[in-house]
Amino acid sequence: MADVTSPEYDAIVIGAGFSGLAMLHHLREIGQRTIVLEAGGGVGGTWYWNTYPGARTDSEFYYYSFSFSEEVRNEWVWTERYPSQPEVLRYLEFLASRLGLNKDIRLNTRVERAEYDESTRKWTVTTDSGDTLTATYLISGMGVLAEPNLPDIPGASSFAGELYHTARWPRDREVDLRGKRVGLIGLGASGVQIVPVVAEVAGELVVFQRTPNYVVASSNYTVDDEWMARVRKEYPENFKRAREHIFAVPFESPRHGAKELDPGERERIFEEKWREGGFHFMLETFSDLATDEESNHHASEFIRKKIRETVKDPETAELLCPKDYPFNGKRPPGGHGYYEAYNRDNVRLVDIREHGIDEITPDGVRVGGVHHELDVLIFATGFDAMTGTLTAIDIVGRDGVVLRDKWSDGLKTNLGLGVHGFPNFFMILGPQTPYANLPVAIQEGVQWIAGALKYARDNGITELESTKDAEEEWAAQVAEAGSATIMAKGVDANAWFIGANVPGKPIEFNVYMGGADDYFKRCDDVAAGGYRQFLGSDR
Ligand code: NAP
């Protein structure tokens, strides 16, 4: 086992969230001396940092978890269909402790730089305390939606009240919002979860909306013993089904397109899946909602109808109806009483689409000349997704090339796993990996990486490095797959998956839209072919 004071390792993994924990477990299985470096004060990654009110999964527990550990599967008990943030964090803490992972995790350690030395064929990692550690392999498990996006709104630093970002919510104290005037900027999955929960306690909640979202109802309920027992029994089968699904969930894929059916039947199916909730509406209604504009229009209309039926004030309802982009143009959030919250007297929606926010003042936010007085301001403004964590630090490959510079004019990766010019560097959920349910994609990713490292060891290969050709081909494939989907309209909706949510970021698909099932098969093929596309140096 690794000694945390020793500076020499086979592998250094950055991040102790879902990715880093699973990677450590799988690297141990193949005898790699590994250390995980984690910036936070505990394990959990996303689920450690995002402690904002209302935080919970948009995915159901039975596929938002790992299948690889029989002990964890059999012993862990989920209590809610959509687990809350504290419950997911407890699950990851349980996983870490049950698999004995903690002794190889160094907390409160932020990686600032990692540099490859071509002569020694080792990576040297420098942390924020100035320590250096060396390893053959460097593996990022830093997360895809982890680097907070703080928009540059005039006057933001002048705000004298309490200012929070959802992804950096205080952990050392309870934030008391009771009776306060709270402003919220941002209505993606984070903001949408905050609205109904904060509305319950705040004196007033002022929601500043730029782009309305298609929020799909989620019906949460308790997981009873019988359901838990069934899920335990079905875990391996569920995982297999998830692996064969475009979004890596164990769902049935619908057989019909929405426009093929008559309006009554179409409505019945939409209604049934709306009641089932969440991703079931997105993925189990019709086969062509992500590819056909007419079919997509039916889904978009259905949701607009639901908004108008739910929100009593017609003007507010119209403001909440997305009209400038189609359903799936953004990642649809799951709602838990989201639209209903706007029927409360203490919730006000302020449209900032046309003119934006004039300024943030010491005691509020001014929009169109109207000043909204606030005690608390919450930024739920998302993340520099997919690439943000990787470009925030210096990852230096061959010839002194820094990863952020390599990607400055376009993403290049081989299956989102490796990068030409960066030998023995791997990414779990790197950019250009699939748009999918993440724990399944993570489990697949870490097992693939562990398999590649084992293959290298067994075959005397000292450098695994993506070939240039393979990453050129993959970049073309990612662009082609994305442009064939409705998600290409994400440009009009500032969607993170196309890089449009961060000003100045190149517009391109940051994820593979060709299906998780297709992607896993490609990864399997590379492994079966002896990792040829990753033998850039040792050819
Ligand atoms: P997001 O979807 O990127 O939403 C960010 C929000 O901030 C948008 O409403 C955006 O408005 C707004 N915004 C950004 N800059 C702004 C500015 N300068 N002025 C006004 N508004 C601004 O971020 P997120 O809600 O954190 O979610 C990101 C992703 O994380 C989700 O899609 C999901 O994949 C994941 N997530 C999942 C869960 C879950 O599963 N339970 C929960 C949270 C997050 P515009 O739309 O107009 O740009």
pLDDT tens, residue by residue, 422-478: 999 999 999 999 999 999 999 999 999 999 999 999 999 999 999 999 999 999 999
Q: In angstroms, what is the span from residue 240 Cα to ligand 1's centroid?
A: 31
Cβ–ligand 1 contact at 494 (below 6 Å): yes
206 in Cβ contact with 184 (< 8 Å): yes
Give yes or no for residue 210 CB within 6 A of ligand 1.
yes
Nearest CA to ligand 1 atom 5: 381
> Could you tell me the pTM of the whole model?
0.97
What atom in ligand 1 is closest to the CA of residue 357? 19
H helix count then E strand count, the chain: 16, 18
**185 in ligand 1 pocket by Cβ < 6 Å?**
yes
How many A from CA of 187 to the centre of ligand 1?
Answer: 6
**Ligand 1 atom closest to the CA of 50, numbered from 1:** 43
With a 6 Å cutoff on the Cβ, whether 380 touches ligand 1 is: yes
Closest by Cα among 92, 134, 142, 162 to 7: 134
Choose among 537, 501, 251, 239: nearest CA to 381.
501
Can you list the positions of beta strands (E) in 364-465? Answer: 364-367, 370-373, 376-379, 394-396, 425-427
- 527 CB contacts (<8 Å, ≥6 apart)? 448, 451, 452, 455
Cα Rg of the chain, angstroms: 23
Torsions phi, psi of 231, nearest 5? -65, -40
Query: Does ligand 1 come within 6 angstroms of the Cβ of 143?
Result: no
In this prediction, residue 5 carries a pLDDT of: 46
225-243 vs 516-528: helix crossing angle, rounded to 10:
60
Q: Residue 152 above 70 pLDDT?
A: yes
Q: Is 357 helix (H, G, I), strand (E, B) or coil?
A: coil
First-residue to last-residue Cα distance in the chain: 32
**pLDDT tens digit sequence for 305-357:** 999 999 999 999 999 999 999 999 999 999 999 999 999 999 999 999 988 99
- Identify the CA nearest to 7 among candidates 33, 38, 28: 33
Distance 397 CA to ligand 1 centre (A): 32
pLDDT of residue 4: 46
CA of 175 to the centre of ligand 1 (A): 21
Ligand 1 centroid to Cα of residue 105, in Å, is 30
- Ligand 1 near 218 CB (within 6 A): no
pLDDT band at 537 (very low <50, low <70, confident <90, very high): low
Residue 190, ligand 1, Cβ within 6 A:
yes
Average pLDDT, the chain: 96
> 413 with 419: CB under 8 angstroms?
yes
Query: How is residue 176 written in tokens?
Result: 């008391």
Asked whether 188 lines ligand 1 (CB < 6 A), one says: yes
Cα of 454 from ligand 1 centre, angstroms? 39
Q: For the segment 482-503, what is each residue's pLDDT rounded down to a tens digit? A: 999 999 999 999 999 999 999 9
Is the shortest distance between the CB of 482 and ligand 1 below 6 Å? no
CA angle 462, 466, 472 (to 5 degrees): 165
Give me the percent of the chain exceeding a pLDDT of 70.
Answer: 98
- Phi, psi angles (nearest 5°) of residue 47: -85, -10
Sheet holding 162-165, edge to edge: 162-165, 376-379, 181-185, 204-209, 347-351
pLDDT surpassing 70 at residue 539: no
pLDDT in tens, 447-458: 999 999 999 999
CA nearest 205: which of 315, 312, 346?
346
Cα–Cα distance for residue pair 21/70, rounded to 1 Å: 16
Please give the Cα distance from 19 to 443 (Å, whole number): 8
